[in-house]
Amino acid sequence: MYSAEGIGKTIEKAIENALFELKASRDDVDIKVINEGGLFKKAKVIVTISEDAREKYQKKPAKSDNIETKEFVVDERKFFDEQKENNKNEKAEKPKKEKSQQSDVALVQEDSSKSAAKSRIDKEVDPYEFLKGFFEAAGKTVTINVTEDDKYIHYSVEGEDLGDLIGRRGDAFFAISRLLTIVCGKTEKKLLLDIGGFKEKRVTTLTELAKRTAEKVAKSGRYMKLAPMNASDRRIIHTALQDDERVTTLSKGNEPQRYVIVFPKHED
DSSP sequence for 43-95: EEEEEEE-GGGGGGGSPPPPPP-HHHHHHHHHHHHHHHHHHHTTTS-HHHHHH
Task: Answer whether the bond into residue 256 is a cis peptide, omega within 30°.
Answer: yes
Higher pLDDT, 245 or 117: 245
Phi, psi values for residue 47, rounded to 5°: -110, 125
- What integer is the mean pLDDT of 1-9? 81
Contacts 24+ apart (CB under 8 A), 245-248: 246/214, 246/217, 246/218, 247/214, 247/217, 247/218, 248/11, 248/12, 248/15
Q: What is the mean pLDDT of the chain?
A: 77
The per-residue pLDDT for range 39-54, each reduced to its tens digit, is: 667 888 888 887 777 7
Average pLDDT over residues 113-136: 69
Range of the domain at 142: 127-196
| Predicted pLDDT of residue 34 | 82
Q: Among 146, 163, 196, give the residue marking a domain's end.
A: 196
- The reply to whether 107 falls in a domain is yes
In a domain, 204, yes or no: no
Does residue 215 form part of some domain?
A: no
Q: Is the pTM of this model over 0.75?
A: no
Using pLDDT thresholds of 50, 70 and 90, give the confidence band for residue 82: low
Over range 130-157, report the average pLDDT: 92
115 vs 133: which has the higher pLDDT: 133
Q: What per-residue confidence (pLDDT) applies to 63?
A: 45
* Angle of CA points 227, 233, 235, to nearest 5°: 115
Same domain, 139 and 190: yes
**Confidence band (pLDDT; 50, 70, 90) for 17?**
confident
Does residue 162 sit in the same domain as residue 117? Answer: no
Asked which of 105, 122, 139 is the last residue of a domain, the reply is 122
Q: Regarding predicted confidence, which is higher, 90 or 149?
A: 149
Higher pLDDT, 143 or 107: 143
pLDDT > 70: percent of the chain:
72
Would you state the pLDDT for residue 268? 47
Question: How far is C-alpha 15 from the geometric centre of its chain's CA atoms?
Answer: 22
Q: Is residue 250 part of a domain?
A: no
CATH number of the domain bearing residue 164: 3.30.300.20
DSSP, collapsed to helix, strand or coil, labels residue 138 as coil
Number of domains into which the chain is organized: 2
